[in-house]
């Protein structure tokens, strides 16, 4: 309940801030006659967002960053601390501050509204809030260092990606040594697996809501998977009704009715189905978990293995984004940090099984399959933001329905 209250507080605050809209437009100081907001003038002056130059004078940027003296990075990963030694060796005159930070989107938007910007860099996976709130309100600008070749970055989705991580459906490989017994996502809605599909809570965790939004977004593929498993159209299912406009919503309805095992975090999800030494006479179930958990299996601490062969998809590809706060107090140091974060050194703390770099040419962890060998749905954060409330409410209602 405390987690739910915290989430709702965050959600309401963000909604109120969003209502404030963009700052008023002002005349372009260059005399071109075009209208620029104050935020756009700042972005233009500092060469970020749509004003990112084709080339950068990195010697001049580093000199200016030394004058600034520090850079404050809001990151939602405890591994941020592993960057400190390499950063300090490269830039001893520029203090790297910030680190593991809660509620980054709320914090940065509140700083913008208050006119007291402290954080320079967004280093966070809440892409639905980045694209749904921060970008349209000009709170956080995108920046990719010239010459860095990025994957999965488009004019419509312009923010640099620090990395992409994979979530899969895991099974207990100790009890099922011959491979994943499931072949289709719809099996997790069947009575044989009532209470045996483990996941984090979409009601209190917006990142999990963004994950289940992909099921709705890919409703056509869910319909094909239904046909493949049951040999009939999804509209013939007994749970089909006016509240299920597509196969994605039907899946969420049936999964919610099947009493999934909601867990407070990823470690608890793994423990629920993949603890070593579980009773083989009892169905262990499955978990929607990070592919990175497989490293614990390789180290002899878990019995989690991924179900790569599921229809319609093996898993999802999540993103962690980088951006520079509007009116960042240390814009040159922020640029320097983003270039560092997109380098081999910057990716190193997250270069593990279950993660892919987003910069062309960077290596992946040993044993990690090539991206084109796993069928994955990439996250669509704007779709998640636009449908977050509707999907969360639909899920909540169906959890309460017998």
Contact criterion met (CB below 8 Å) for 309 and 302 = no
Contact criterion met (CB below 8 Å) for 289 and 269 = yes
Cβ contacts of 393 within 8 Å, gap of 6 or more: none
pLDDT, tens only, 256-295: 999 999 999 999 999 999 999 999 999 999 999 999 999 9
In this prediction, what percent of the chain has a pLDDT beyond 90?
A: 81
Query: In the predicted model, what is the mean pLDDT of residues 392-398?
Result: 96
Q: What is the pLDDT of residue 289?
A: 97
Contact criterion met (CB below 8 Å) for 355 and 164 = yes
pLDDT, tens only, 169-191: 999 999 999 999 999 999 999 99
Mean predicted lDDT score pLDDT of the chain: 91
Counts of helices then strands in the chain (DSSP H, E): 14, 14
* Domains of the chain: residue spans and CATH: 2-164+318-370 (3.40.190.10), 166-317+387-399 (3.40.190.10)
Q: What is the pLDDT of residue 205?
A: 84
pLDDT, tens only, 371-385: 888 999 999 999 999
Q: What is the pLDDT of residue 204?
A: 87
Instruction: Tell how strand 70-75 and strand 95-100 pair up.
Output: parallel
pLDDT, tens only, 34-85: 799 999 999 999 999 999 999 999 999 999 999 999 999 999 888 899 999 9
Instruction: Tell how strand 315-325 and strand 160-172 pair up.
Output: antiparallel
Cβ contacts of 306 within 8 Å, gap of 6 or more: 168, 169, 170, 171, 180, 291, 294, 314, 315
Contact criterion met (CB below 8 Å) for 342 and 336 = no
Query: In the predicted model, what is the mean pLDDT of residues 151-168?
Result: 92
Confidence of residue 33 (pLDDT cuts 50, 70, 90): low
pTM: 0.85
Please give the full DSSP string across 319-335, using - where no structure is assigned: EEEEEEETT-S-HHHHH
pLDDT, tens only, 242-260: 999 999 999 999 999 999 9
Please give the full DSSP string across 214-248, using - where no structure is assigned: HHHHTHHHHHHHHHHHHSS-GGGSTT-STT-SSHH
Please give the full DSSP string across 352-371, using - where no structure is assigned: STTEE-SBTT----TTPPPG
CA distances 317 to 8, 161, 211, 363, 387, Å, are: 26, 12, 9, 18, 19
Q: What is the pLDDT of residue 401?
A: 77
* Structure token digits, residue 248: 């994605």
Query: In the predicted model, what is the mean pLDDT of residues 316-340?
Result: 97
Q: What is the pLDDT of residue 4?
A: 39
Query: In the predicted model, what is the mean pLDDT of residues 357-362?
Result: 92
User: How much is the CA Rg of the chain, to the nearest whole Å?
Assistant: 23
Half-sphere exposure of 216 (CA within 13 A, CB side): 23
Q: What is the pLDDT of residue 78?
A: 85
Given a cut of 60, whether residue 312 has pLDDT beyond it is yes
CA distances 341 to 325, 346, 359, Å, are: 16, 4, 10
Instruction: Tell how strand 121-124 and strand 315-325 pair up.
Output: antiparallel
Exposed e or buried b per residue across 42-80, where buried means at least 16 C-beta atoms within 10 angstroms of its C-beta: bbbebbbbebbeeebeeeebbebbeebeebbbbbbbeeb
Instruction: Tell how strand 286-290 and strand 197-200 pair up.
Output: parallel
């Amino acid at each position: 309940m405390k987690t739910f209250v915290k989430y709702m507080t965050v959600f309401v605050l963000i909604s109120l801030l969003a209502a404030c809209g963009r700052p008023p437009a002002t005349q372009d100081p260059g005399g071109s006659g075009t209208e620029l907001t104050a935020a756009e003038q700042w972005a233009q002056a500092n060469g970020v967002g749509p004003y990112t130059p084709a080339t950068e004078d990195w010697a001049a940027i580093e000199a200016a960053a030394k004058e600034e003296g520090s850079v404050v990075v809001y990151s939602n990963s405890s591994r941020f601390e592993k960057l400190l030694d390499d950063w300090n060796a490269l830039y001893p005159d520029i203090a790297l501050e910030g680190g593991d930070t809660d509620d980054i989107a709320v914090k940065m938007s509140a700083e913008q509204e208050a006119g007291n910007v402290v954080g320079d860099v967004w280093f966070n996976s809440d892409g639905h809030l980045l694209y749904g709130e921060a970008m349209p309100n000009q709170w956080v600008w995108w920046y990719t260092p010239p010459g860095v070749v990025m994957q999965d970055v488009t004019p419509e989705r312009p923010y640099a990606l620090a990395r992409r991580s994979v979530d899969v459906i895991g099974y207990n490989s100790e009890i099922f040594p011959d491979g994943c017994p499931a072949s289709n996502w719809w099996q997790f809605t069947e009575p044989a697996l009532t209470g045996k599909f483990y996941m984090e809570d979409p009601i209190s965790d917006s990142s999990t809501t963004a994950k289940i939004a992909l099921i709705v977004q890919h409703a056509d593929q869910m319909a094909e998977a239904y046909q493949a498993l049951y040999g009939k159209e999804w509209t013939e299912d007994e749970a089909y009704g006016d509240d299920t406009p597509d196969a994605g919503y039907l899946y969420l309805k049936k999964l919610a009715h099947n009493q999934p095992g909601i867990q407070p975090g990823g470690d608890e999800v793994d423990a629920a189905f993949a603890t070593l030494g579980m009773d083989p006479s009892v169905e262990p179930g499955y978990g929607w978990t990070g592919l990175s958990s497989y490293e614990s299996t390789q180290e002899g601490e878990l019995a989690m293995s991924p179900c790569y062969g599921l229809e319609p998809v093996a898993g999802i590809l999540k993103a962690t984004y980088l951006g520079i706060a509007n009116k960042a107090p240390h814009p040159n140091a922020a640029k320097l940090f983003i270039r560092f974060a997109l380098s081999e050194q910057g990716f190193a703390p997250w270069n593990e099984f279950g993660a892919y770099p987003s910069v062309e040419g960077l290596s992946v962890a040993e044993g990690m399959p090539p991206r084109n060998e796993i069928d994955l749905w990439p996250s669509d954060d704007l779709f998640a933001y636009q449908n977050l409330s509707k999907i969360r409410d639909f899920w909540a209602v169906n959890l309460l329905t017998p």
